[in-house]
Structure 1
Amino acid sequence: MDIRFQDVGYTYQKGTPFESKAIYDIDLSIKDGSFTAIVGHTGSGKSTVLQHLNALKKPTEGTVTIGDRVITNLSENKGLKSLRKKVGIVFQFPEAQLFEETVGKDIAFGPKNFGMSEEEGLEKARELLPLVGLDETFMERSPFDLSGGQMRRVAIAGVLALEPEVLVLDEPTAGLDPQGRKEVMNMFHSLYKNKGLTIVLVTHQMDDVAEYADHMIVLEKGTVMKEGHPREIFKEAGWLASMQLGVPSTVKFAHELEEKFEWTFDPLPLTTDELAAQIIEKLPTRGGASV
């Protein structure tokens, strides 16, 4: 399911003395089956764009097309609930939204809200636990007795229980240590590859963008400044710095090696494996073997 923004703008408290334009002239496309990263520093408009992806907000200008549904400022709220099933959002610190007495009931809450029986909802919860790295023994546990990382996985399972076609992730690794961040991102990448989910990642973690995304959108001051493949955008380290954004650690190290040894990396390495492979090719050889 594609999502398309055309000339989209949104103004908070429009028509009042406190009105504030958050985004304007937004044109972007999120293709079905893509892993898209939306980046930008604080105040760039990321959160407002995110809330338009499943019609939590309706544009004050322009149109947002979600699948075959066109959303404008005149769209009625009736029928928008179904869109929020197709486009699931995992908000930052989703564990704060847990409230049921058991893990199973918390995961089953969303499906029950859409008409599934309690028994069916609990069965759905049982099926989803392994996908988020938990086992069936968690079904009867209180979510509030779990670690922070486990609580986050339960909250993510609750979104997956609605069987969305698009999964939107708002800073999904915030507050996690490096190992926890990698585990969570690998889980999402597995869902992307094995379940055919379209992923939209809203993040400031450029290493995650480089490792997982195949499309990148850069926001600044409420509008899209650049859109394309991460490899092309990360070539412009100076421009990103002017946007108060960094580059992945692999790209930074590659640029340092280019300056020190007058090397040229082509294509620009985004992952550690890509960087290592190109370094090995550039190393001098002795007796036919790299040193």
Structure 2
Amino acid sequence: MDITFKNVSYTYQPGTPFQGIGLENINVTIPSGSYTALIGHTGSGKSTLLQHLNALLKPTSGVVQIGEREITPETNNKNLKAVRQKVGMVFQFPESQLFESTVQKDIAFGPQNFGVPEAEALERAKEMIELVGLPANVIDKSPFDLSGGQMRRVAIAGVLAMKPEVLVLDEPTAGLDPVGRREMMALFEKLHSEQGMTIVMVTHQMDDVANYADNVIVLEHGKLAKTGAPREIFADPDWLTEKQLGLPTTTQFAQALMRQGFVFDQVPLTEHELAALLAEQLPKKAGIGHE
């Protein structure tokens, strides 16, 4: 299910002294089955665009096409349930939205709200607990007795229990330690690679963009600045600096090596790419950097 923005603009509080432009004339497609990273400095419009993906916000002008459904300024809010079931949203710190007495009930709440019978929703909850890598014995525990990382997995399981085609993630690893962050990113990669789920992720972590995304959208001041594969986006360090964005750690390291005489046909983005290229060149550079 593609999601396409056609000349989409969004204005906050129009006609008031607080009027502000959230998005301006956005034309972009998030392809079905892609792993899309949405990047840009604070205030660039990322969260505003994110909320258009399942019609939490409707465009002030233009059209957002979600699969076969078109969302316009005139779209009736009462008829959006199907869209919101197909596009699951995980906001920052989703664990703050947990409220039920047990993990199973919390995960089952979303499907029941969309009309799934209670017995089926509770069974789905068991499946989702396994899918997100939680131990089976948490099922009857209060979510508030779990660790922060486990609570976040419960919240994500609640979204996945609605069987969305698209999973939208707003800074999904914010506040997690390095181990928790790696585990969370591995979960999303599994959903993408094994289940073919479309992933849309807002992040400030350029390493995650390089390691996982196959499509990148860059926003600046509510406008589309650039879109393309990660290698295209990271090919121009000066442009990224100008847009207040960084480079993946591996790419920064590779650039330092290039200043020492290493030559790369294309600058590596990931650790695996860099290791393979160094394995080819190190024997030839035996006199450089024995450490």
TM-score category of the 2 structures, normalised to the smaller one: over 0.9
Q: Does 1:120 align with 2:124?
A: no
> Residue 135 of structure 1: CA displacement?
2.4
List 4+ stretches of structure 1 deviating above 4 A: none
The secondary structure found in structure 1 opposite 2:268 is: coil
User: How far apart, in 2, do the equivalents of 1:266 and 1:109 lie?
Assistant: 52
Corresponding position of 1:48: 48
| 1:27-42 matched pairs, under 5 angstroms | 27-42=27-42
The secondary structure found in structure 2 opposite 1:70 is: strand
Q: Does 1:271 align with 2:280?
A: no
- How many equivalent pairs are there? 287
TM-score normalised according to structure 1 size: 0.96
User: How far apart, in 2, do the equivalents of 1:267 and 1:125 lie?
Assistant: 45
Corresponding position of 1:106: 106
Deviations 1:93-150 (A, max 9, x none): 0000000000000000001001112221111000111111112211100000000000
User: How far apart, in 1, do the equivalents of 2:250 and 2:89 lie?
Assistant: 29
User: How far apart, in 2, do the equivalents of 1:161 and 1:286 lie?
Assistant: 53
Unaligned runs of 5+ in 1: none
| 1:112-261 matched pairs, under 5 angstroms | 112-261=112-261
User: How far apart, in 2, do the equivalents of 1:223 and 1:167 lie?
Assistant: 23
Deviations 1:229-267 (A, max 9, x none): 001110111100001010100110111111121x22223
The secondary structure found in structure 2 opposite 1:157 is: helix
Corresponding position of 1:71: 71
The secondary structure found in structure 2 opposite 1:162 is: coil
User: How far apart, in 2, do the equivalents of 1:286 and 1:219 lie?
Assistant: 41
Q: Percent identity?
A: 61
Name the CA shift for 1:12/1:277 in 2 (closer, same or farther; >3 Å): same
User: How far apart, in 2, do the equivalents of 1:217 and 1:165 lie?
Assistant: 20
2:14 partner letter = K
The secondary structure found in structure 2 opposite 1:78 is: helix
> Residue 41 of structure 1: CA displacement?
0.8
User: How far apart, in 2, do the equivalents of 1:139 and 1:157 lie?
Assistant: 12
> Residue 286 of structure 1: CA displacement?
9.9
User: How far apart, in 2, do the equivalents of 1:268 and 1:147 lie?
Assistant: 39
TM-score normalised according to structure 2 size: 0.96
The secondary structure found in structure 2 opposite 1:84 is: helix
The secondary structure found in structure 1 opposite 2:77 is: coil
User: How far apart, in 1, do the equivalents of 2:284 and 2:273 lie?
Assistant: 20
User: How far apart, in 1, do the equivalents of 2:146 and 2:230 lie?
Assistant: 36
User: How far apart, in 2, do the equivalents of 1:152 and 1:137 lie?
Assistant: 17
User: How far apart, in 1, do the equivalents of 2:194 and 2:206 lie?
Assistant: 24
> Residue 285 of structure 1: CA displacement?
4.8
User: How far apart, in 1, do the equivalents of 2:164 and 2:56 lie?
Assistant: 15
User: How far apart, in 1, do the equivalents of 2:72 and 2:159 lie?
Assistant: 25
1:196 partner letter = G
1:151 partner letter = M
Deviations 1:157-198 (A, max 9, x none): 000000000000100000011111110000000010111100
User: How far apart, in 1, do the equivalents of 2:134 and 2:254 lie?
Assistant: 38
